[in-house]
Amino acid sequence: MRASAMLEVRDLRVHYGTVEAVKGVSLQVSAGTIVSLIGANGAGKTTSLRALTGLVKPSGGELRFENASLIGLAPHQIVGLGIAHVPEGRRLFPKMTVLENIRMGAYLRTNRAISPRRSK
């Protein structure tokens, strides 16, 4: 892994039964950058993010954040490291604003400027 990569995904593979949904995805993200996953429906974007956040188990590859492996960590442990997944569309909390939904991903943060637990 390059020294400047904060997040590294190397040869990620995810299977749902016998179907290989993610076939060898690799990427590196440096601190302070913004990255988008773009592709057709069924290309594996959501499954890749779900693997990164511990919601599905990879069948192969490496997931590293700040040079520590994410493989085998529970979703709440990954959130504790600062990685969260805010799903799109119908999987949001419908009675909450967009900002409130995003803040849900920061519920473990102690920074009162972004934490949903901050006092009003």
In the chain, where the domains are located: 5-71, 86-120
CATH of 5-71 among 3.30.2320.30, 3.30.70.270, 3.40.50.300, 3.40.50.720: 3.40.50.300
* pLDDT per residue as tens digits for the range 23-66: 999 999 999 998 888 999 999 999 999 999 999 999 999 999 99
Amino acid present at 98? V
pTM: 0.74
Q: How far apart are CA 6 and CA 67, in angstroms?
A: 7
Question: Measured in whole angstroms, how far is the alpha carbon of residue 42 from the centre of its chain?
Answer: 18
